[in-house]
Structures are given as structure tokens and as C-alpha cells.
Structure 1
Amino acid sequence: MAPSLLVFYYGLTIFLGSATVFSSPVSLPLVHRAPASGVSKLDIVQRGIGSTPNRPRRGARIRRGDVTLQVTVGTPPQHFLVTADTGSSDFWIGGPGSYGMSQTFDPTSSSSYEDKNEPVYIRYGLGSFTGTVGIDTVTVAGFTIPEAVVETGLSTSTAFGFSDMSGIMGFAWGQLSSSGLQTFTEQLVSQNMLAENKFSVYLGRALNNLTPDQAASNGTMPAGSLTFGGVDSSTYTGDIDYFPIVAELHWVVQADGISVNGQVVPDTNGIQAMMDTGTDLVVMPDNMFDAVSKAMGATVIQGAAYVDCSSMPTNVALRIQSKDYHFALEDLVRGVVDINSKTLSQEFGFKEGTQVCKLAWEGGQDDTEDGQTPMIIFGDYFLKAWTSVYDIDNKQVGLAAAAPASSLSTMSDVVNFYLKLQGADTSSNSSTKATGTSSAGSSSETSAAGRASDGLGGIQLLTLIMSLLGAALLSCHLV
């Protein structure tokens, strides 16, 4: 059929019947959505339990916020922010039974909704979803699918209740879909709506210019872009390196391992690497977590790795086909603990006056893509340094250096950035504090099996466990 109308909308578009075909890539902004107003500023910034004014704040994990995109569902359209997740395949929106979501989908208000009367259950790395399968009109970035699969929540776990995201749109392969029906991406491809059958993700660095009050606000802030049908050339520099995926499930590639100071950590040899925008940390099997933490000179306390900021290695990378894809300095760290009291010194095992970096990875990952090869999940703390490309036709993942790169070029910059974001006074933090001598305890490490007994006193251990538990509850690791 000859095109009936040509218009310029996000570039040249061609209307063929009811389908809109875009002849060039289409980018839409991603946003970080700050947590719901019911969560305190302290929890947002520190991801821990509240501390009193007389008690120093712990450098628990910084909340970077969910990376979300705007979608509309139904007739008339209902608007939602949903997490853009390359680590799953389902598209769901919270319904009336969903926990703590400020916006939920009401199927009875949509004249185009069709209930398939099929239940669906999805388990994520943290959190779960129970709902029902339906069909309705869904629009993303000008792409409209009249009969898209929409899973509506009957109940969701508390893990999804601490931010204003209303659901998840998965961009992994359709074989993972819980409904067994075509995913949104598969429908775009089958209806020939994309300029190229690929999409790409660029994650911005909005937090770098925020004050603590801004970080704790309930507004949105730029978080990069998602491009359908190709790659936005303004989001990267240099070449795009492509690697074949292991299977048509997740976006997983074969890797050499994780390198520290130019050497692959032996326990990570031959890993598979999953690119997952729905996870913020780097999540690995316990033995690899212990090995990488040891290579970093870190102490493992209750499942988190802490290292003297002044002595931690800064040359850390994912190695694929003998080439290193480095973490940005700031993305190695998810918080800073200023050891400024005897109590904190006893709890963390570092000398007073030490600034301790909490590293951006954790253990507990035991899934595999092929049933046998260990896998590490590389979330936003890695992907912020790389524009990632997901090539459907050629079944490959691409990586290119993100532009602009991080502006934090020294560990002193990183330490001051996190202390500022955590609300600490950084005026007295000189560069010497981030380049001094490490504490005697900073090179010790605890195995995965022995993390529950770190030699802390009863009160200190209980306080630390509560802080870390609060961090976990406020985290949303979508694996």
C-alpha cells in the first residue's frame, strides 16, 4: 500500500494503515523519579534507618531513583511512568491492589481494554508481581500498538512501593514473557515500525548537580534517553563494539571477566555478562563478590563491601574479547562513610578519620543463562559509562563510550560528591583525605559464609543490620 500521509514527527514518519512507521531513530527522554512523599529525606539520601542529629550518618547506598519512561494505556489514554528494564520482558501496570503506587491502571475506564482472564505471576530479584493479562492500546514515543499486552496488577510486593513508578516495561526477549504473547518490542518489529530493529539506552548523570534537598524532592530529573530504531549519535563517542548474545532470553554476552588494575580476577574468568537497566548495582555470585572485594582491598560487612577511599583501586573494568570496558570512578561507589567517631570505627573496623567507600556491587546472584556458566548482572552503575545498544536482528549487544563522560576525575571529587549528596559538610574535606594512608583494617575480608559474624558488638551489629535492611527495602533491584 502506498503511504497515505507523510508528516514530520520525531523525524519522518509514514502512516501505513493503522501502523506508524518511523524512517529514522526516535529518542524519548528517560527520567529519574524521586521516591514517594511518604519516604523521608534521610531515607532517600542514605537508604538506611533514620539517625539523630547527634549520630553521624552512615554512607549507605545513594538512591539514584528508578529510570522511567512515559507510556499511555487505554482509551482515553491513562498516563504512567514505568521502569525501562532490559532485564525482563513483561509489561505491567499496577492495579487497585498494588502496594504504595500513586498511579494505577483502571481497566474499567478504558473502552478498548479486553480482559484475557489469564493470571500472571512474575518474580524479580527483589519483589514480585501478581496480576491478570489483558489487551489494550499502548503508546510509547509516538509508537502506538492497538492490541498490546498489558498485565494489570492485582498485588505487588512492597519492593515496588517506595517510588512513583507505576509498572515495568521489559525489553528482553519474548521467550521470557510470562503471558506467552508478543511483547511490545516484538510487536514493533513484526509490524515493521522501526527504522532498524534495534534500540539503545543512554543513562545520564542528573545527580551530579543536585543538592541534598533536590535529591530528596518528589519531582523528576533527566536520566538520559531510550532510542527506538537505532542509536542517537549524540549519546556516545568513538565506535560501537558489538558482541553476540548467548541466547534469545536476556541481553547476555560472553566475557573474559572483571579486571582490577589490569588483571582479571581469577574467580571471574569466563563469566557471562548481562546488561540490565532494571538493576542499579553489579550483582554477582557470592564467590566472585568475595574475590572482587578482596582484589579491591575491601572489608565485607553484612553483604556489603567497604574500602578505604584513599587506597581503593580505580582501574576496574568488564573485560570482553580482551578489551576493558571501565567503570567511571563515581560508579564504583554507592556511598561514603566518614569514620568520625569511635563508635563508627568499631562498627566498620576502620580507623577514625578514614573515609570509607561502599562499593557498587553485591553477591547473591546464582542464575545462569545457559544453565552452567556463572553470570554477573551489570546494572546502571556500570551502564552509566556506556551507551548500550540492543540489536534484535543480529542478536547482539553493543557498547560505546557514553557522552558526556563523568566529570568526577579523582577520588577526592567522588568522595566530596557523595558526602555532599548525603548532606554532609564537605568544606573541610581536603584532597589529602582521599589520598592518604589506608587504615590497618581496610585490607581484611570476610567470606560469603561468614558475613553474619564480623566481630561487631551486639548493639552496633543490630544497628548496622537495621541500616542495611532499610537500604534493601528501599532498593528496587529488578533482575
Structure 2
Amino acid sequence: MIPSTSFPALLALPALAFLSLSASALPHARTASSTATLKLAVRINSYGIENIAAADRARIQALRAGGSSSVDATNAVTGYTAVIGVGSPATNYTLLVDTGSSNTWIGANKPYQQTTTSQDTGGTVYVTYGDNSYVSGEEYTDTVTLNSDLVIDHQSIGVASEDSGMDGLNGILGLGPVDLTQGTVSNAYEVATVTDNLYAQKKISSEVLGVFFAPASSDDSSGELTFGGYDASKITGDISYVSLTSAYPASTYWGIDQSISYGSTTILSETAGIVDTGTTLILIASDAFDKYQLATGATLDQSTGLLQISSDQYNQLSSLYFTISGVTYELTPNGQIWPRSLNSAIGGTSGGIYLVISSTGSPSGSGMDFTNGYCFLERFYSTYDTTNSRIGFATTEYTYATTN
């Protein structure tokens, strides 16, 4: 999520999906590496939310305007949480996983239990997120336990005295670029992230994070974070990498350049955007969204804020193709629809078919013209490589799933 956050029938690939790889996008063969894994739990809000598209849009607009980064848990219909320990002996906290923000903090809905490893830095922390959500409090350092293999000494963490939008969660595990922490803590220029410290303390051999989500509608709605590399058992091919974009403001986050085609028709020429676990939908610039709506014949449903199609239109739906550094990733028709079993979570009807492609609310050329959110990331494995300033993607067993 972004500081101001939140959160298939197997089809034959047309010729455009077989574009040759550019030199910069050559696949990286799977090799053994020193890694450690943190299991995630899927969280589906049962209270329901109306107009998730508007919530996602507000978050992205705040990010583009230079808001801090993170996930707005209030607006997250589907999200992933991790249980981490803080202190010694450790107290466990359930945190929202967010690659769109970088501050890790606790204290929402569960007080901070100080131990002999707790040290007050004397600084205050203040981070704002989308839809007027925020956290403020004191900044501490403490021992943070991700699992038995990943124990971080002197990790900087915020301890909330005030917060909004967490809906039962205890805080956020920030996994974005360290630059996003600048200006958030009163007595520090920036604070090292969890991934930064794991690498600096030699707990992992490379500053790489692998992210896997199974679709919430699948039989195995699980997820995992792999620190120090990626989990080769979760991918069905090699990982192809793309350098981070230089276009602002996408360059502030985990930003890349990509183009998008609907079938054989280009709806978004190559432009900059971000990859964000905290955004639920796939957002594209308003002009691209208009082309997509016209091509699909969808109508805007006022209750959910999502495009809706009929069963006949779904049967005629073409795949979307995301071309990233010469590699094309197919989002099948089933991957473009909201899980029908979760329609009630967004205020939809039980038999409705809703599309997960929505508008950023701004035309292309803004420097942040798309967000590949959870609905994209549940179909493709992603890696975030700080050392080499790049992001990688690979297919998984769920890329062509028909679970929605």
C-alpha cells in the first residue's frame, strides 16, 4: 500500500504473448540461496465495504500528491497479515503487510509491552496514509522476531499513541523502499526497514524480498514472504526482472514501466506506475480505463463502484496483457473478475460479475498511471530487489486458475 494506503480458464496465448525477451529482461534461473520464510494469513473483512474502487483511487491520488506510504486497513477487503514478535520475551502482534510503505509500527488495538530490549529513541513518529488515516506516537528500537531464523536486533519501530483505520489489526509491517521513511521520525533522517536490517545484520545473504499470494477464492488462500531471495517451489518458470522506473512519483515507491493491451488492442502505452500489496484492485489511467470499459461493454455499478458485465460478456472477455521490459504477462478473463464468492464483501449481488480493473481518476502522463495491486499479485509471484534496484515477476500455479 501506499502511504496513504490501503490495500481462469486456461486460454491459448496469442502471438503477442510470445514476444522475445529483451537483453535487460532475460530470465534469472532458479538457484539455491540463503532464505527464510514468513507465513502470511489471509484476512477477508466480513463487515463489507461499499465502493472499494473509490477507496483505492483516493489512496493512489494521495500517494501521487506526495503523501506518506502505506495501507488503509479500513478499506482493505482482502489483505494479508503477518504475526511478528517484539521484545524479549516477545509479544506477538498481527500486522498488515505493505510494500507501499516502509515504517513498521505497532500499538493499534494492543499495547506495546516493553522489555529489557526496548529503547526509546526520544523521537516521535508520524505517518499519514490515504483517506485521512494516520499513525502518531514514539519511536523505539527493539528486538523483532519474524520467525526462528529471522531475529532482528535494534529494529526501529513506531509505537502508536494515536492511529486510525486499523480495524482490529495491531499495526503495519512496512516493506517499501527506505526513502519513504524520510521525514516520518523527528530525530532521524530516515530509519532502516526490516529488510535493510536483516541484510545489514547478515541474517539474509541478499536484500531481496519474495512475495506470494494465493487467490483468496482458492482452496489454499495462503501467502508467504521470503526474505533473502524467493521460494522456487511457488513459481512455474523463471523470474524476469525489470529495473525500477526513473519517472516521478512512481520512482518513490516500487515503481516500474509497463504497457497494457486488451487482446490485441493497446489501451495503455508504456508508462510508469507502481506495484503495491496494499492496493486491492488493478488501477489504470482514466483514458486507458475508458478504452477497457468500451472494449468489454461493461457498465459501472453504483453500489460497488466496479465495472459489471453479464455472463455473455464474460464469455467474450479477452485477456489483458501486461508487457514489462519485453516480457508479457497474461491476466486471463477469470483473473479480471472479483471472486464471486466474495461479492457480499464489496456490497455486490450474489450472481454479479464485477471487474477488478478500475480507474486511477487521472489521465495518463501523471508519472503514476497504474497500480498493480493484490488482484494482479495473486496471479504472479513478485520479488523486490533493493540491492539491484529491480522487481521480478514469475508465473505460478494460480496464473491460469479459474477460482473466481
2-structure distance, mates of 1:167, 1:367: 33
Match of 2:359? 363
2-structure distance, mates of 1:379, 1:396: 17
1-structure distance, mates of 2:363, 2:158: 25
Range moving further from structure 2, 222-231 or 308-317: 308-317
SS in 1 for 2:217: helix
**Structure 2 residue 209 is the aligned partner of structure 1 residue 199:** yes
1:167 to 166, 171, 178: 171
Q: Kindly provide the amino acid, as one letter, of the partner of residue 242 in structure 1.
A: Y
Match of 1:327? 331
C-alpha displacement of 1:222: 4.7
**Structure 2 residue 133 is the aligned partner of structure 1 residue 130:** no
Q: Kindly provide the amino acid, as one letter, of the partner of residue 128 in structure 1.
A: Y
C-alpha displacement of 1:135: 1.2
2-structure distance, mates of 1:336, 1:222: 15
**Structure 2 residue 78 is the aligned partner of structure 1 residue 65:** yes
Say if 1:260 and 1:296, in contact at 8 Å, map to a contact too.
no
Match of 1:234? 233
Match of 1:280? 280
Unaligned runs of 5+ in 1: 1-21, 48-61, 210-220, 338-347, 349-353, 415-479
**Structure 2 residue 252 is the aligned partner of structure 1 residue 249:** yes
**Structure 2 residue 38 is the aligned partner of structure 1 residue 28:** yes
SS in 2 for 1:246: coil
C-alpha displacement of 1:118: 2.6
SS in 2 for 1:208: coil
Q: Deviations over 1:91-118 (max 9, x none)?
A: 011x2xx4xx3xx2324x3232222233
C-alpha displacement of 1:176: 0.5
Match of 1:307? 309
SS in 1 for 2:300: strand
Match of 1:474? none
2-structure distance, mates of 1:283, 1:405: 19
Match of 1:472? none
1:117 to 116, 122, 128: 122
Say if 1:29 and 1:222, in contact at 8 Å, map to a contact too.
no
C-alpha displacement of 1:150: 0.7
Count of residue pairs the alignment pairs up: 329
Range moving further from structure 2, 297-306 or 394-403: 297-306
SS in 2 for 1:310: helix
* Higher Cα Rg, which structure: 1
Match of 1:143? 150
SS in 1 for 2:95: strand
C-alpha displacement of 1:374: 3.5
2-structure distance, mates of 1:328, 1:153: 42
Say if 2:95 and 2:173, in contact at 8 Å, map to a contact too.
yes
Match of 1:379? 373
2-structure distance, mates of 1:250, 1:378: 12
Over 3 Å counting, the alpha-carbon distance change for 1:207 and 1:243 in structure 2 is: same
Match of 2:199? 189
Unaligned runs of 5+ in 2: 1-31, 53-74, 342-347
**Structure 2 residue 81 is the aligned partner of structure 1 residue 76:** no
Over 3 Å counting, the alpha-carbon distance change for 1:250 and 1:367 in structure 2 is: farther
SS in 1 for 2:230: coil
Say if 1:30 and 1:222, in contact at 8 Å, map to a contact too.
no
Q: Deviations over 1:52-93 (max 9, x none)?
A: xxxxxxxxxx98632111210112211012122111111011
Q: Kindly provide the amino acid, as one letter, of the partner of residue 186 in structure 1.
A: D
C-alpha displacement of 1:187: 1.2
Say if 1:91 and 1:170, in contact at 8 Å, map to a contact too.
yes
Query: Cα RMSD (Å) of the superposition?
Result: 3.2
C-alpha displacement of 1:23: 6.5
Describe how 1:412-423 pairs up with structure 2 within 5 A: 414=404
TM-score using structure 1 length: 0.62
Match of 1:345? none
2-structure distance, mates of 1:246, 1:46: 30
1-structure distance, mates of 2:93, 2:361: 31
SS in 2 for 1:294: helix
Say if 1:310 and 1:355, in contact at 8 Å, map to a contact too.
no
Match of 1:395? 389
1-structure distance, mates of 2:289, 2:129: 20
Task: Report percent identity of matched pairs.
Answer: 25
Say if 1:307 and 1:358, in contact at 8 Å, map to a contact too.
yes
2-structure distance, mates of 1:154, 1:230: 35
Match of 1:87? 100
TM-score using structure 2 length: 0.72
Q: 4+ residue runs of structure 1 moved beyond 6 angstroms?
A: 44-47
